[in-house]
Chain A
Amino acid sequence: MMQDLAVTASTSALSPIALFLQADVVVKAVMIGLLLASVWTWTIILSGTISLSSALRKSKALAAEFWKSEDIDKFYDGPGRQDVPAAKVFSAAVSEWRRSVRTGKPVDREGTRARLANAMASAAAGEIDRLSDRLNILATVGSVAPFVGLFGTVWGIMRSFTDIAASQNTSLGVVAPGIAEALFATALGLFAAIPAVIAYNRLLHKISKIEGHLHRFGDALHITLSRELERA
């Protein structure tokens, strides 16, 4: 009767924990997986945002400090040894410079220029690789989590249809809780995927900014060093 139906509808609580506990084993596994993916995603988002911001800030500060400094060797032994992307590029250039110029033999200018450029480019690429290490996880979660959630939903709805067939009862009180549980899996999938996609694009943009900065710094350094090479 109507009253019974209303009662059964309101007694089935819609809190996330209740939905999780009522769900099927497969749906439970999907939910746990998506929750872990979400936690991992947010770990990467938070730590990635912090580390990329500080990398960009410190690189810019180091570059500005470098252009003000008088002595390259002194700078190399001081701030140049920091764990900063621009410092890595700088130290790669200086160590290559020392190896090429301080040999005692006549300096091969063209070869030294090429080696300097290669050393700086590879140092910058290594830094970018290190910074963008976690981005692939964000991309994977962003594209796969909705499908995983959808799988959980389809499975849950299949299960609730089986229950309907078994109980021979098509009233909403029988159908609704199962479908609500099933839809919760899709909600979790989207919950994990949306921040992942947004953060992926944001972090990618930040990394490309750092990359541009490193390349510009490397080019300027290369120009300065090759000018020095003319005098050597």
Chain B
Amino acid sequence: MMQKGEGAGFGLSVIGHGGLLALLSLNLMSVREMPKLSQSMDVMLVDKAGLVSGAPQVAQEAPQASEAPEVADTPEDAPPPDPAPTSRPTPAPAKPAVSQKAAEKPAPPAPPAPKAKPKATSLSNDFLKGIPVEKSTGKAAAPRAAISPLAMNGLAALLLQQVRPCYNPPAGGTDTASIATVLDLKMKRDGSVASVQIGEQTGINAQNRPYASQMADAARRAVLRCSPFKLPVELYEGGWDDFAFRFRPS
């Protein structure tokens, strides 16, 4: 097979290939360090978190409550006991509401009512009306006041990072990636998802309208697939136990 002058050529070429392989293995093809992507998520999400507005409202309610006793002073009854009850009621309607909301509605209203009535006798009937305590906002705002909006944004970004890898965009449709879906997540303490409710969707236009429900389903599936999430446990209470998660495909 091999002719007489080819032995030397064969040896040379084998040596050359081995040398080249060694050279490439050693340094030439080592992975270059790529610049790491900075996490710009926080910047993007700040104005998206509608929950931010909930926190200041709680802060505004406290002064209102402190003003209430002064109104209450005008009636003749018991000046010393008044400040104590009045300072308490303002958080009181808020906190029970959280636990009650999950439970039955008709039964709980009874306890607040008796509490309110002594006030009404001691203060005035207008007092309760003066406090703009809506059941829904009070419930959402009061617990969240403990966690800063920045931390909530961080939570949303953290959740988004963990959901993204599980997300399979549905095939077909134009401009479907612009549809953002709000998912109401009820979470357990271990990070798993107890229930997912599809909330409102934004970014729907004439082209992608037929795909809106498909996108919402895809987002829900992504959340369920990645279900045990790794989120900071200290932020569970009032943080991500009941979380309005806004998912954008891109």
Contact = CB atoms under 8 A, between A and B. Distances in A.
Interface string B30-42: 1101101101000
A42 B5 contact: no
Q: What is the predominant secondary structure among interface residues of chain A facing chain B? A: helix
Given A2-B36, A13-B31, A43 B17 contact: no
B194 interface: no
A51 B9 CA distance: 10
Interface string B132-172: 00000000000000000000000000000110011010000
Q: What is the predominant secondary structure among interface residues of chain B facing chain A? A: helix
B40 to A, nearest CB: 11
B21 to A, nearest CB: 6
Interface stretch (A14-22, A104-112, A214-222): A14-22
A46 B8 contact: yes
Contacts of A168: 166, 168, 225
B71 interface: no
Contacts of A51: 5
Contacts, number: 74
B36 A1 contact: no
A16 B13 contact: no
A16 B16 contact: no
Contacts of B225: 168
B9 A42 contact: yes
B165 A2 contact: no
Nearest to B16: A42
B12 interface: yes
B21 A17 contact: yes
A50 interface: yes
B162 A42 contact: no
A169 interface: yes
Contacts of B37: 2
A196 to B, nearest CB: 12
B44 interface: no
A38 interface: yes
Looking at chain B, what size class is its interface with the partner chain? 20 to 34
B17 A38 contact: yes
Interface string A107-135: 00000000000000000000000000110
Contacts of B36: 2, 6
Looking at chain A, what size class is its interface with the partner chain? 20 to 34
Contacts of A133: 3
Interface in B34-69: 34, 36-37, 39
Contacts of B161: 1-2
Interface string A162-178: 00000011110000000
Contacts of A69: none
Contacts of B13: 38-43, 45-46
B12 A46 contact: yes
A9 B34 CA distance: 10
A103 interface: no
Given A1-B161, A1-B162, A16-B21, A45 B29 contact: no
A35 interface: yes
**Best-buried of B9, B17, B29 by chain A (most CB within 10 Å):** B9
B31 A43 contact: no
Contacts of B25: 15-17
Given A2-B161, A42-B12, 15 more contacts: A1-B162, A9-B34, A10-B33, A14-B31, A16-B21, A39-B10, A42-B9, A43-B9, A43-B12, A44-B6, A44-B9, A45-B9, A45-B13, A46-B12, A134-B3
Interface of B: 3, 5-6, 8-10, 12-14, 16-17, 21, 24-25, 29-31, 33-34, 36-37, 39, 161-162, 165-166, 168, 225
Interface of A: 1-2, 6, 9-10, 13-17, 35, 38-48, 50-51, 133-134, 168-171
By Cβ-Cβ distance, the 5 closest A-B pairs, closest first, are A47-B9, A42-B13, A46-B9, A43-B10, A47-B6
